[in-house]
Chains A and B, each alone.
Chain A
Amino acid sequence: MHNPPPAILLEDVRLTLSSVAGPVNILNGVTLSIAAGETVALLGPSGSGKSSLLMVAAGLETATSGRVTVAGVDITRMGEDGLARFRRGRVGIVFQSFHLIPTMTALENVAVPLELAGIADAFDRARDGLAAVGLGARTDHYPGQLSGGEQQRVALARAMAPGPAVLFADEPTGNLDGATGAEISDLLFALHARGQSTLFLVTHEEALAARCQRIVRLKDGHIVADARTA
């Protein structure tokens, strides 16, 4: 029986950044394999390297050494333009601060990754995506005219619209109040279930992490625990 390749495979990944005070070692030999369709939460204290690990896995940052394979593609040596093109349609990212483009409507924000991926009916699919997050009536609203929760819904619709193989979420409820955060969490897992993508979630909330199939704990750039949830 042939095993499908992992959705994310990190092999002895190290990340060192230079600063005025000297080099900063952020990831110190991380090895991690995440199967396709799996939901994984990455937990750890501030400064442990969670967001950096997500960035390396999402191709937003290039590892100093080691090997990174995402959706079966080795992205370790890709240049920044190559990584950008790789992300099109394959990778969706949800940010803690939403990062919508303020000059574009909700519909246009959701359509951007579809347009970048060269999808012809980008706006029809974007409209469907917004309907799926309950914002079918707010397509022409600008981010400034939406609440925080609504903006994160738009961000979720934008990340999921191209049907990515992997969905990365960096503290998706970090900027929201409890009730809104819970709504977004529900939506996140519902969309994941519908799209059958792999979910790699960075959070510091144990409750949110517990909804994933697996929890990986990071400290000082090292994985210190990797366990399946009950």
Chain B
Amino acid sequence: MSRIALALRLARREMRTRLAGFRIFFACLVLGVAAIAGVESLSTAFLTGLAEQGRTLLGGDVVVHLVHREANADELAFLKKRGRVSQTVSMRAMAYALKNGAEAERNLVELKAVDGAYPFFGAVSLTPGLKLPQALRCEAGVCGAVAEQTLLDRLDLKPGGLMRIGAQVFRLNAVLNSEPDRISGGFSLGPHILVSTEAVARTGLVMLGSLIDYNYRVVLPAQMTPQQFKAEATAAFPDAGWDIRDRSDAAPGIRRFVEQVTMFLTLVGLTALAVGGVGAGQAVSAFLDRKRSEIAIFKSLGADGGLIFLIFFFQVMAIALAAVVTGLALGALLPFAVEYAYGSDIPAPAHFALYAGPLLLAGAFGLLSAVACAVPPLARARLIAPASLFRDLVAPADARGALPYLIGAGIAAALVAGLALFLAPSPLFAAEFLGGAAAGLVALRLIAEGFRWLLRRLPRPRAPVLRLALANLTRPGAATTGVVTALGLGLTLLATVSLLDNTIAAQVKDRLPDTAPSFFFVDIQPDEAARFDAAIRRFKSAADYRRTPMIRGRIVSLKGVAAKDARIAPEAKWAVSGDRGITYAATPPQGTVIVDGQWWAPDYRGPPLISFDAALAQGMGLKLGDKLVLNVLGREIEATIASLRKVDFTTGGQNFIIVMSPGLIDKAPHSFLATVRVDGRDEEPLYRAVTDAFPNISTIKVKDAIAQVNGLLQQLSDGVRAASLLTILSASWFWRAPSRRAAGAGFMTPPRCLKCWARRGRGSRRSMSSNTASPAF
């Protein structure tokens, strides 16, 4: 203990010297720690907000979700026995503006029909400020509706204007500013509109087999937990095929998004720490070079290597601690800065506060990184021989003594990586990211060493300036390796983040093939299928027209194991997370590529067979002959995998992960999905023709959908750009360090190089004699 106290005392005295060389070390650590603390604090603010407002976001304690069908009388009685119940019905539909009694503009809408109890929590915000039941009331054959301003703009309507959905006329009584449960609803293809459940029944769009979501929000009594409710519901109706979500995870999509973005940005922050760490290591090396004389003096006075290490370790860690505290302060302020800057524009609920967890995590990352970067040069410093006070030529010290310190630095680096992996929602992604960064570091180091090796073998130029520059690049102790590694790592990181930014946009813009359809048509009823086919074929440019039966169902078990318990790769989990589109076909649809197994005979009518997506099968550990159980309209169907197909989602067309054999599934009520590609000049006429003749069919313009997706990607891209800014800042701080040392490494114009060399010479001579040195305070 007295040894540590002595080291601390001597370190404190030693720190009276100027610490100019540590500005880079300080800045790198501040930036990395601030980034991680800020990102983690912001993430915690959002996740806390989601958790705290779970009831409001969900609209109840639990939501029971059914697709295609309403809850039957028994199910409804069960729900009502357990709490207050509110029903909503959601679907996509076409809305037509009515002007002077005729239909004018039309647009796809996300329609939600609500009952009188909606919403249980929070409030619907309308302009003008009407009460919701008042705004949705039906009078004299016209029902009230409220819609987002976007719909009013697209239909060129003002509040009070009329429109039609299906067979029902609506009056747009108010603009819908916000719904309390909006973000738990997921991705939208059109503007939102609210109507009453009474009104939706009058539209004529609610038909068996139509793609309609029924949600029952239940407010439970205080003595019943959502888990108890789920257990009872599953026990009472094991085959209901309903999906039950509760207030603890009201918006799983948003939560997953926040977690994924947090992981990505934290890893970027860690990489910024790694980039800075290389610079930090060099800053410590340069600092210790300046301290060689003092270290030798301490040793001549009786200080052993361990004490020398402690003295300078405490100094470096004191600076690191100051940097970490500064970084934490900046990071802790980020959520408040975001709240101040964006306030009510923030789309998700957030509880902005000071969170200890993220700050502790960022602090640990910062300090461990500092230890990992500073200890190796410190370990070398303890080997400085006291004889160097007398002359440069000294017997080499035994380097084996440095090994425990290097192991310690390695453990600190491993802890940083381990902590990152442990906390990452996707450890595999985090491992790949960190592994890539480490491999990049090693590769750059090897390139740098190779560069020096090559330079050493070059013939000496006759020009003195070039000769001097070359000699400086290859001299013992030159910063060449560090500079090349640092610049390389910084550039690699910048290039990676920039490429990522561009790739996101390119994925949609560039990879959508010319053969992608122009339209998707949803909810084509069987009795209108032939008429619909004819309507499409009237357009000469119509190509690749496909009409496919579609019904929604969910995978409930794989090989006898419940889907929630099955071991499934992260990239395949989406397929069992909810309802998926299912089709059936007697023969392989056009473009089918079977990679394993065989398609069933065209007249096959035996037990249900499945042709499954080969990539998903791999992620789920499925092979030919394995059995899946699907829940379709509340009925469980067991089917055997007969073939595996290559499904290419980049075509933009119809892609079903499950295609079933006819015989059973085709007996279930279902509708059809159709796609078609037309020339640009036929797009608007076809849109008008279909929407005029088939008001119940939802017509989705692929261009509009792509624009919607692009909007989301643009927001994601903005986040990636913020990450780029972080790395640019980190790298630019880092580059300032080598640029100053570059004179020693030969990275300067010859005249500046000579001047610096002259200054270095004077500096070296000065450092050898303490009689001219003066303290700085």
A101: chain B residues within 8 A (beta carbon): 13-14, 294, 297-298, 770
Q: State which of B14, B307, B771 has its C-beta within 8 Å of the C-beta of A98.
A: B771
Cβ of A24 < 8 Å from any Cβ of B? yes
Number of interface residues of B (CB under 8 A): 44
Contact A88 B770 (CB under 8 A): no
**A9-24 at interface with B (beta carbon < 8 Å):** 17-19, 24
| Residues of chain A with a CB closer than 8 A to B307's CB | 116
The answer to whether A60 and B386 have CB atoms under 8 Å apart is yes
Q: Given the known A-B contacts A19-B393, A99-B389, are A143 and B770 also in contact in the complex, defined by CB atoms under 8 Å?
A: yes
| Residue numbers in B under 8 Å from A93 (CB-CB) | 300-301
Interface presence of B17 (CB below 8 A) = yes
B390–A170 contact, CB under 8 A?
A: yes
Q: In the complex, what residues of A have CB within 8 A of residue B538's CB?
A: none
Beta-carbon contact of B16 and A175 below 8 Å: no
A103 touches B14 (CB 8 A): yes
Interface residues of B in 273-315 (CB under 8 A from A): 293-294, 296-307
| Residues of chain A contacted by B13 (CB below 8 angstroms) | 101, 103-104, 108
Instruction: Give 1 or 0 for each of B199-218: 1 = CB within 8 Å of chain A CB.
Output: 00000000000000000000
Docked pose: A158 CA to B297 CA in angstroms: 12
Say yes or no: B302 contacts A88, CB within 8 Å: yes
- Rounded to whole Å, the gap between the CB of B682 and the closest CB of chain A is 83
Q: Does A213 contact B (CB under 8 A)?
A: no
Q: Are B774 and A102 in contact (CB under 8 A)?
A: yes
| Candidates B2, B299, B395, B770; contact of A17 at CB < 8 Å | B395
Taken together as a complex, chains A and B put the C-alpha atoms of A88 and B9 apart, in Å, by 18
Query: Which residues of B are found within 8 Å of A184, using beta-carbon distances?
Result: none
Q: How many A-B residue pairs have CB under 8 A?
A: 123
CB-defined contacts of A99 to chain B, threshold 8 Å? 293, 296-297, 300, 389, 770
Which of B10, B302, B390 is within 8 Å of A117, CB to CB? B302
Chain B residues whose C-beta falls within 8 Å of the C-beta of A19 in the assembled complex: 393
Q: Contacts A87-B301, A101-B294, A112-B301 given: A142-B774 contact, CB under 8 Å?
A: yes
B302 touches A60 (CB 8 A): no
Contact of A151 among B305, B397, B771 (CB under 8 A): B771
Within 8 A of A (CB), among B377-394: 385-387, 389-391, 393-394
**In the assembled complex, how far is the CB of residue A17 from the closest CB belonging to chain B, in whole angstroms?**
5
Give the docked Cα–Cα distance between A55 and B13 (Å): 28
Asked if B768 lies at the interface with its beta carbon under 8 angstroms from chain A, I say: yes
Answer whether residue B775 sits at the interface, using C-beta atoms and an 8 A cutoff: yes
Tell me, in angstroms, the Cα distance from A145 to B775 when the chains sit together: 9
Interface assignment of B104: CB less than 8 Å from any CB of chain A: no
Are B302's CB and A97's CB within 8 A?
Answer: no
Query: Nearest-CB distance from A16 to chain B (Å)?
Result: 9
* Partner among B296, B300, B773 whose Cβ is within 8 Å of the Cβ of A102: B773
Give chain A interface residues in 74-98, CB to chain B under 8 Å. Answer: 79-81, 84-85, 87-89, 93, 95, 97-98
Binding site for A on B (CB under 8 A): 2, 6, 9-10, 13-17, 293-294, 296-307, 385-387, 389-391, 393-398, 401, 768-775
Q: What are 26 A-B pairs at a CB distance below 8 A?
A: A52-B390, A55-B387, A58-B300, A84-B299, A88-B302, A93-B300, A95-B389, A97-B770, A98-B769, A99-B296, A99-B300, A100-B770, A101-B13, A101-B770, A102-B774, A102-B775, A103-B13, A103-B775, A104-B16, A113-B302, A115-B9, A115-B10, A116-B301, A116-B302, A118-B2, A175-B771
- List 10 extra interface pairs beyond A87-B301, A87-B302, CB under 8 A: A51-B390, A62-B395, A97-B768, A99-B296, A99-B770, A100-B297, A104-B13, A112-B10, A117-B302, A148-B771
